[in-house]
Amino acid sequence: MTQKDLVPNTIAFVKEKLENAEGGHDWFHIERVYKNALLIANDVDCDLVVVKLGALLHDIADSKFTGGDETIGPKIARLFLESQEVPEPTIEHVVNIINNISFKGGNFKKDFSSKELDVVQDADRLDALGAIGIARAFNYGGFKNRAMYDPAIDPNMNMSKEEYKKSTAPTLNHFYEKLLLLKDTMNTASGTAIAAERHRYMEGFLAQFYAEWEGEL
């Protein structure tokens, strides 16, 4: 294997693995994260090979769809990178990115940090924002057979985390639980700037959504 083949080989591997993935987590999500990661990396002094591999492999096996097992993704990534004879420090770094990228919060304890993780994490978060972020949220809600919105369930989320987890909260709640909080969690300057734009777009969407719900427009 030559260095030149590594990224194309990884792309082919990820495409094949994600063939039957749900729409919000499919190859096109990976492609958008990859492109955004390269864009953000322009302004950051970092190892581009690690950024590329991290972006491409970050969702190789989402625990939501593997019965909650969070160790499968990093294992698959490691085996693949070993098969490509990638140097161990690079493998280690990419696996650390996969293990630490999630923005789920909760019990999750961050035990690794790097510029490359910052870049890939920002790129992944950006894909949960803006028009694409809205589409992904409703796609996920549809996949879970959730209501879009229910005025009886407070969209501003006055429920406890536990209550929320047990509920089948409508998709609109996800905006208040997670999506509208993301802009304040960005790591990089360019990621922060893009997130601010996408945040404004989502606020506009929500205002329009409520207005249409009430029959105002």
Interaction site with Ni ion (CB under 5 A): 59, 124
- CA–CA separation, 66 and 68 (whole Å): 5
Residue 171 binds which of Ni ion, ligand ADP, none (CB < 5-8 A, kind-dependent) = ligand ADP
- CA–CA separation, 98 and 59 (whole Å): 8
Q: Which range, of 1-9, 73-81, 136-144, 205-213, touches ligand ADP by CB under 6 A?
A: 136-144
Cα angle 210, 214, 217 (rounded to 5 degrees) comes to 85
- CA–CA separation, 173 and 171 (whole Å): 5
Residue 140 binds which of Ni ion, ligand ADP, none (CB < 5-8 A, kind-dependent) = ligand ADP
- Single residue of 133, 155, 186, 188 touching ligand ADP by CB under 6 A: 133
- Which x/- pattern, by CB under 6 A, does the window 161-200 give for ligand ADP? ----------x--x----x---------------------
Cα distances (angstroms) measured from residue 122 to each of 32, 71, 209: 12, 22, 27
**Closer residue to ligand ADP (CB): 104 or 110:** 104
- Single residue of 65, 140, 176, 205 touching ligand ADP by CB under 6 A: 140
Verify binding: residue 93, ligand ADP, rule CB under 6 A.
no
Residue 88 CB, shortest distance to ligand ADP, in Å, is: 26
**Closer residue to Ni ion (CB): 59 or 122:** 59
**Closer residue to Ni ion (CB): 59 or 118:** 59
- CA–CA separation, 38 and 48 (whole Å): 8
Q: What burial class does residue 180 get, using C-beta atoms within 10 Å of its C-beta: 0-12 exposed, 13-18 middle, 19+ buried?
A: middle
User: Which of these, 94, 99, 173, 180, lies nearest to 133 by C-alpha position?
Assistant: 180
Verify binding: residue 70, ligand ADP, rule CB under 6 A.
no
- Residue 203 CB neighbour total at 10 angstroms: 12
Question: What distance, in Å, lies between the first and last C-alpha atoms of the chain?
Answer: 59
Site for ligand ADP, rule CB under 6 A = 24, 59, 62, 64, 102-104, 124, 128, 133, 136-137, 140-141, 171, 174, 179
